[in-house]
Amino acid sequence: MAKRSRVRYLIVLMLFAASAFSYGDRVALSIAGVSISRDLHLNALKLGYLFSGFSWAYVAGQLPAGGLLDRYGSKRVYGISIVCWSLCALLVGFAGYLPAAIAFTVIFGVRLLSGVAQSPVFPGNGRIVASWFPAAERGTASAIFNSSQYFALVLFAPIMGWITHISGWKECFWFLGSLGFVLAFAWSRVIHGVKTHPRINQQEIDYIEQGGGLTSIDPNEGLAQKRPANRLTWSAIRMLLSNRMLVGIYLGQYCITTLTWFFLTWFPVYLSEARHMSIVKVGFMAALPALCGSIGGILGGIASDKLLRLGHSLTFARKLPIVAGMLLSVTMLGCNYTNAQWLVMLLLSLAFFGKGIGALGWTVIADTSPKPLIGVNGGLFNLIGNLAGITTPIVIGYIVKRTGSFNGALVFVAATALLAIVAYLPIVGEIKRVDFKLPEPEGGAA
């Protein structure tokens, strides 16, 4: 018998790379935040609004992105997304030459466009994993692409800090935008549907299908005229929101994503202003907790899949890492009681490690989504989760401006970690795939 191919590993590596660049685009603004606020004369609250600009449109784009993914397929929609957000990154750099008052408005507007462009990324990731991986491997696969958010800080924070120091913040965005077009070309060569990939063999297809992989959710990849009717309807959304388990998962993701957006936006500013580090040192020091988060993210997925293979229920295998990780994230509160930089970095590294372990939301979505609505459910999940991308930068900006300290901000972030546990334990209940009949298309899409 022919040896089974392993194309799915190449697929998840591509998802990791694409997601890392997506988060790299978000990290660039936070690393350059101190320089931008100085050049544009921004206070903490206005900088918070600038940080949140991306998420306003990113959240609004989630449901349409999920519908587009289900209708036109992951490869096409995701590929266009990469090209568009790379173009937006270039435009942010050029906006730096405008007068300060105009530059703030233009950058905010371009970040809105970038948010729309990147809205298919994580629903697309979840959809591709559900298609390419059997259930017993989804935790690891989802953890790998989800760890990109931490790896983005590890890779891009030192680079962005160095570029900002020697050239300026505008060059950070030109650098990212240029690399994005290379990424788009790689995506077009690597990503295909399961049954149409030129490098896969029948043995791997059979293995994926027998393990519960949804290999046929993208038939005739790229042929829009053969797509099913639009599945993004209000009836479908209402049906998803009527399910208690899914609502608990959505709420849990909002809480977990609050931690993400603290680290992606205010964390470098915290190191610079509260811990008095230079911009170059911030770039390197921000990478340390992120590296721990990346390791924790992969270990969380591996541990969850291992528990599943040992015979534990899907509910136990997914919830245990989430609860343990969120409890570990609360260690960041210790930073309010020490002035030692090494201890601050240790506590934040532990918190980021715990956040990584608990970031299994996309795995749970792949386990639970109704088969006809994987893209739409992923979009709704990511929409609610990334409301934190709007609230977190603004709330922290308000706290810092009002109190002149980051202590209250750390309390706020740690409290949301505890709320994530509440969401997953009493609200979610048993984790299982939702099974209901797809509603007939209504007169208009949502």
Q: pLDDT tens-digit profile of 148-207?
A: 777 777 788 788 878 888 887 888 889 989 999 999 999 988 888 888 888 888 888 888
Whether residue 383 lies inside any domain: the answer is yes
Whether residue 443 lies inside any domain: the answer is no
Whether residue 416 lies inside any domain: the answer is yes
Whether residue 380 lies inside any domain: the answer is yes
Whether residue 114 lies inside any domain: the answer is yes
pLDDT of residue 81: 93
pLDDT of residue 436: 64
Domain that holds residue 110: 7-427
Whether residue 410 lies inside any domain: the answer is yes
Whether residue 2 lies inside any domain: the answer is no
Contact 323, 425 (CB under 8 A): yes
pLDDT of residue 24: 85
Exposure on the CB side of residue 178, measured as CA atoms within 13 A: 7
Whole-angstrom distance, CA of residue 70 vs CA of residue 376: 7
**Count of the separate structural domains present in the chain:** 1
Whether residue 138 lies inside any domain: the answer is yes
Whole-angstrom distance, CA of residue 261 vs CA of residue 257: 6
Whole-angstrom distance, CA of residue 358 vs CA of residue 146: 11
CATH number at residue 316: 1.20.1250.20
Ranges under pLDDT 50 in the chain: 219, 221-230, 439, 441-446
- On whether the pTM is more than 0.75, the answer is no
